[in-house]
Amino acid sequence: MKIVKEVPVQADDPLKSPWRRRTVALASLLVLATGAAACQSGSPTEEGNKGTPKAQGMVSQLNMGDFGGGNAPQRNFNPFSPTRLVTDFTFEPLFVVNAYDCTVTPWLGTSYTWENPAKLVVKTRSGVTWSDGKPFSAKDVAFTYNLLKTAPALDTNGLWSKLTSVTAEGADQVTFAFKEASVPTFTQVSDVRMVPEHIWSAVTDVAKFTNNEAVGTGPYTVKSQNTQQLVLERNPKYWQADKIKVQRMMFKKATGGAEVDKLRLSRGEYDWNAMFVPDIEKTYVAKDPEHNHYWFPPGASISLFMNLTKAPFNDVEFRRAMTFAIDRDEIKNKAQFGYVETASQTGLVMPGQKAWLAPGIANDGKVPYDAAQAKKVLADAGYKTGPDGKLLGKDGKPLPDFSYKVPNGWVDWIQAAQVIQKNLADLGITVDVQTPSAEVHDKDRGIGNFDMFFGVHGGGCNIYQAFQHPLGSSQTAPIGKVAPTNFIRWKDAKTDALLEELAKAPDEAAQKTVVHQLEQIMVDQVPVVPLWYGAQWFEYRSEKAIGWPNAKDPYAGPGNQLIIMTKLRPNPDYRGK
């Protein structure tokens, strides 16, 4: 019996998932089961400013930020390579998962069906051609996924640890067979960019292939590239070319460091970028209030992670006291410049995911700062305060000093840790904020050599991963061994059973039932303490182009380049070339 049947829709008709808001990055989506040129060196600046595109109702050129490849970028348009240059405008996926609200827009795929929890059938779009004019078909799709099987290092989503086969059936249908129930894997399936079989079938070493011609189905082809700039040109053969109103995109290498890049941003040299800018209203918006804009939607939860193999962190009442003890608003305003929102204890991103909030959880699951309540919880649990003001453990002995590890140079996180240090000192708990190198920090985190640190979880559209990564016992390891993602060493039979049930849940109602119970574990057992939502940086100028996503019109996340490019259009008031 089929779990869900998708009806083919147009590319701009989103298939809604139950999630309403993106929570990190990079990504999370289980509920989808319910929905269905060769390069030349040189500068194009003069040619790009002749004004012809404007006369045709086009934006002549948008100036972008860096294009990857390090300080001396080499030509590489292999979309699977870790050293690739910008490829997201040239190669396309089957479906675009909206990073803001987790809706799904059909792209090279028009519909999908979970025939059972281990079998996914996708219908592919007809009438699409590669940029060299050759037709795109389901055979290209099956070829792309099977190509990743031959190069495991490039299968960054680990699809072939779950897949048994990917086969094309006719010109417009692809079947994915999995080893076991894999409904949550839809986001990883959707994340893969398609490549043409007629070119890539001759490649002998996929990992080393630099794909110089960059033949894709996307809205842009590569016009030119050198060590300082990359130019993408509108693809006139694009299957929805009528929606692409930007003729050219110019990416420039960010030489001179972060401060120089911020100066360029403030001077209006970038039409689209993504960077952290202190006091952005003064340093960016005020320079041109009419055209300089930003939007920092919430990403992943940044949380207090405690080593649950140690006392007192292994005591649920101590952890519950921590939910009241930390002044999240001070962290938000002092360490995060007011750019972020405080986080819900449920693990959800609120208010966007309120439809998934368990009944009975008050205040969207957000816990207010209340030092007096924290002290009461500790006292009721048997923690007393010594004559010197130090908190005593349940055994009557003073608690030891605890380390709080933050990567060196992560200034905002260090400031946040100092707020926590001050808050816990008010309870008689001494915290030593330590700033090892990122490499040492990550190594200690993995093997369990820590007391407390900031953990990142959720942030995408895969609800299964949002809970399984930090809480699944399969993701942890004994102290001294490297844990994949469950660094806190949370082991709970009920959590594992719920995660297993969630992986198989066929519809929204069933999924919500399970998610509500996982939220309750977060609230009642407090395995982690969410503090704030990490921001997704996004700055844009409306001088040349309008139609950007923003807080009033959050039609896509800042990273959804393909969706954004179909929405941008010329600013009718622009008087430039």
Share of the chain above pLDDT 90, in %: 77
Give the pLDDT confidence of 240-299 residue by residue, as tens digits.
Answer: 999 999 999 999 987 777 888 899 999 999 999 999 898 999 999 999 999 999 999 988
Q: Please state the rounded mean pLDDT for residues 518-542.
A: 97
pLDDT score recorded for residue 71 = 79
- Name the burial class of residue 41, with classes exposed (0-12), middle (13-18) and buried (19+) by CB atoms within 10 angstroms of its CB: exposed
pLDDT score recorded for residue 184 = 86
Average per-residue pLDDT in the chain? Answer: 89
CA distances to 115, 127, 136, 144, 145 from 172, rounded to whole Å, are 17, 11, 10, 15, 15
pLDDT of 311 higher than 80: yes
Instruction: Give 535's strand partners.
Output: 298
Cβ-based neighbour number of residue 152 at 10 Å: 12
Do residues 96 and 230 lie in contact, with contact meaning Cβ atoms separated by under 8 Å?
no
- The full set of domains in the chain, from first to last, is 4-54+64-213 (3.90.76.10), 300-535 (3.10.105.10)
At 496, list the tokens: 């594992």
Identify which has the larger pLDDT, 99 or 215: 215
Q: How far apart are CA 467 and CA 303, in angstroms?
A: 13
pLDDT score recorded for residue 235 = 97
> Residue 392, Cα to own-chain centre: how many angstroms?
41
CA distances to 121, 526, 529 from 521, rounded to whole Å, are 35, 7, 12
pLDDT score recorded for residue 3 = 39
- Name the burial class of residue 227, with classes exposed (0-12), middle (13-18) and buried (19+) by CB atoms within 10 angstroms of its CB: middle
At 330, list the tokens: 């001070």
Q: How far apart are CA 35 and CA 17, in angstroms?
A: 6
Identify which has the larger pLDDT, 339 or 13: 339
Give the H/E segment covering residue 92. Answer: none
Do residues 240 and 223 lie in contact, with contact meaning Cβ atoms separated by under 8 Å?
no
Cβ-based neighbour number of residue 397 at 10 Å: 9
pLDDT score recorded for residue 479 = 98
Largest Cα–Cα distance in the chain? 81
Do residues 37 and 214 lie in contact, with contact meaning Cβ atoms separated by under 8 Å?
yes
Q: How far apart are CA 428 and CA 384, in angstroms?
A: 10
Instruction: Give 106's strand partners.
Output: 95
- Per-residue pLDDT band for 459 (boundaries 50, 70, 90) equals confident
Identify which has the larger pLDDT, 184 or 467: 467
- Per-residue pLDDT band for 51 (boundaries 50, 70, 90) equals very low
CA distances to 126, 162, 182, 495 from 500, rounded to whole Å, are 37, 15, 10, 9
Identify which has the larger pLDDT, 210 or 32: 210
Instruction: Output the DSSP codes for 211-261.
Output: -TT---SSSEEEEEE-SSEEEEEE-TT-TTGGG--B-EEEEE--TTHHHHH
Question: SS3 for 473?
Answer: helix
- Name the burial class of residue 363, with classes exposed (0-12), middle (13-18) and buried (19+) by CB atoms within 10 angstroms of its CB: exposed
Q: CB pairs under 8 A, 24+ apart, for 67-72?
A: 67/225, 67/229, 67/230, 67/251, 67/252, 67/253, 71/253, 71/255, 72/227
Q: How far apart are CA 53 and CA 290, in angstroms?
A: 24
Q: Please state the rounded mean pLDDT for residues 358-378.
A: 97
Question: SS3 for 502?
Answer: helix
243, 242, 273, 237: which is closest to 258 by C-alpha?
273
Give the pLDDT confidence of 419-453 residue by residue, as tens digits.
Answer: 999 999 999 999 999 999 999 999 999 999 999 99
Do residues 342 and 282 lie in contact, with contact meaning Cβ atoms separated by under 8 Å?
no
Q: How far apart are CA 211 and CA 199, in angstroms?
A: 9
- Name the burial class of residue 394, with classes exposed (0-12), middle (13-18) and buried (19+) by CB atoms within 10 angstroms of its CB: middle
Instruction: Give 225's strand partners.
Output: 230
Do residues 88 and 561 lie in contact, with contact meaning Cβ atoms separated by under 8 Å?
yes
Identify which has the larger pLDDT, 237 or 20: 237
Identify which has the larger pLDDT, 62 or 103: 62
Q: How far apart are CA 365 and CA 279, in angstroms?
A: 29
Identity of the amino acid at 518: L
pLDDT score recorded for residue 55 = 60
Peptide bond into 79 cis (omega under 30): no
At 241, list the tokens: 């070319």
Q: What is the pTM of this model?
A: 0.83
Give the H/E segment covering residue 271. Answer: none
CA distances to 331, 344, 446, 456, 518 from 531, rounded to whole Å, are 8, 8, 21, 10, 18
